[in-house]
Chain A
Amino acid sequence: MTAWVVGGHISRTDVGSADGAYQMPAESAYGGALADITVTDTASGADFRRLLPSRRRGELTQILKELELLHSRILARRGGTPFTTDEIEQEIGEVRGDS
């Protein structure tokens, strides 16, 4: 099995096998970044599921907290008045150069 994951290829020889599921060893040659990625066996028809490494998941948790704080701060500056949602599809269309 060869699977494309963050940062490069891993092959069957890189991973341990247990009931058709392959897991990166805790300490791999790739270092900690890929250590907890689980790749199910595509050859057996199982889902090919890629997970964020736990370090990156922690980053997303932190980013979401920061986002909440930022939006709260912006809303507070407006005296708690919520924004009216604009037509974002039109805005994106203009960025893309649609007429």
Chain B
Amino acid sequence: MALDCSLLAHALLPTQRTEEAVGALREINLQGHELVAAAVLFVEFPSLLRRMVARGQLDRADGEAIFDIFRRLPIRSVNTSPGNLQRAWDLSKTLGQSDTFDSMGYAIAESENAAFWTSDQRFTNAAKTKNLSHIRRFA
């Protein structure tokens, strides 16, 4: 399974928690699938955490605890390659995305022969219109 930042946000952040997203992690644990993610996730999620602490949306101690949990999640970081970089670039244009974060996550999932699990509704909706497969959304 390839995870993105939105799914982790809904699973790990108490202010954003949804049972579906936490259930996704439980399902992964039950099935024992390997977890992968685009390397940028390891900048994106801690940045989101820092932002929430800085804004006072999350206590400092809670931020530390969540970061510690995130740090220990068994997610393998996948670096970009010229091939998946091109795929992400093309996808972002096809889907009308203003950045390549989600497209890169999907390109990494494709290159790893993994399903892409996300909570991002906008990306999922755009992907549906182009019949992209192997995407599962957790609200």
**A and B interact:** yes
Q: Which residue of B lies closest to A70 (CB)?
A: B65
Given A89-B121, A92-B48, residue A75 in contact with residue B14 (CB < 8 A)? yes
Q: Please, how many angstroms separate the alpha-carbon atoms of A96 and B100 in the complex? A: 10
Given A70-B62, A96-B99, residue A52 in contact with residue B34 (CB < 8 A)? yes
B33, A83: Cβ atoms closer than 8 Å: no
B113, A71: Cβ atoms closer than 8 Å: no
User: Total contacts A to B, CB within 8 angstroms?
Assistant: 94
B18 on the A face (CB < 8 A): yes
A67, B9: Cβ atoms closer than 8 Å: no
B54 to chain A, nearest CB (A): 11
B89 on the A face (CB < 8 A): no
Q: With a CB–CB cut-off of 8 A, which chain A residues contact B33?
A: 49-52
B69, A74: Cβ atoms closer than 8 Å: no
Q: Please, how many angstroms separate the alpha-carbon atoms of A48 and B115 in the complex? A: 12
Given A70-B62, A92-B9, residue A48 in contact with residue B17 (CB < 8 A)? no
Q: Please, how many angstroms separate the alpha-carbon atoms of A57 and B35 in the complex? A: 11
B83 to chain A, nearest CB (A): 14
B72 on the A face (CB < 8 A): yes
B14, A74: Cβ atoms closer than 8 Å: yes
A51, B32: Cβ atoms closer than 8 Å: yes
B51 to chain A, nearest CB (A): 6
Name 21 interchain pairs, CB-CB below 8 A, sorted by A.
A48-B113, A50-B33, A51-B33, A52-B32, A52-B35, A60-B29, A64-B25, A67-B11, A67-B22, A67-B25, A70-B62, A70-B69, A74-B14, A74-B59, A83-B14, A88-B6, A88-B13, A91-B52, A92-B9, A95-B44, A95-B47
The chain A residues found within 8 Å of chain B, CB to CB, are: 6, 48-52, 54, 56-57, 59-61, 63-64, 66-67, 70-71, 74-75, 83-86, 88-89, 91-92, 94-98
